[in-house]
């Protein structure tokens, strides 16, 4: 799972096997995971994130959706 961004505790990644789906990113933090479509940015799936965290990762996804990969570990 290639990581495209790390921001604080959040890891933004994609699965190369997800090619049949629209462009999207998976956001991971511990056991929590969310999936966002990128155009437009919208939540597809949430597993464990509280609403306030979803707001934050949604904003981060929007701010970085066209940025080149950076912040890698």
- In tens, the pLDDT along 43-67 reads 999 999 999 999 999 999 999 877 6
Q: Which contiguous run of DSSP H or E holds residue 57?
A: helix 51-64
Q: What is the pTM of this model?
A: 0.84
Any domain includes 8? yes
Any domain includes 27? yes
Q: What is the pLDDT of residues 22-33, one digit of tens each?
A: 889 999 999 999
Strand-pair category, 24-29 with 32-38: antiparallel
Any domain includes 52? yes
Confidence at 68, pLDDT banded by 50, 70, 90: low
The predicted pLDDT at position 11 comes to 96
SS (H, E, C) 5-56: EEECCEEEECCHHHCCCCCEEEEEECCEEEEEEECCEEEEEEECCCHHHHHH
Any domain includes 72? no
Any domain includes 46? yes
Residues 6 or more apart whose Cβ sits within 8 Å of residue 28: 10, 11, 12, 13
Q: Which residue has the higher pLDDT, 7 or 16?
A: 7
Whole-angstrom distance, CA of residue 40 vs CA of residue 42: 6
Counted domains in the chain: 1
State the residue range of the domain holding 14. Answer: 3-64
Any domain includes 11? yes
Is residue 73 over pLDDT 50? Answer: no
């Amino acid at each position: 799972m290639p990581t495209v961004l790390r921001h604080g505790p959040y890891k933004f990644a994609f699965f190369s096997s997800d090619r049949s789906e629209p462009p999207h990113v998976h956001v991971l933090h511990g056991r929590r995971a969310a999936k966002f479509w990128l155009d437009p940015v919208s939540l597809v799936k949430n597993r464990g994130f509280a609403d306030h965290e979803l707001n934050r990762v949604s904003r981060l996804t929007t701010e970085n959706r066209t940025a080149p990969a950076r912040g890698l570990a």
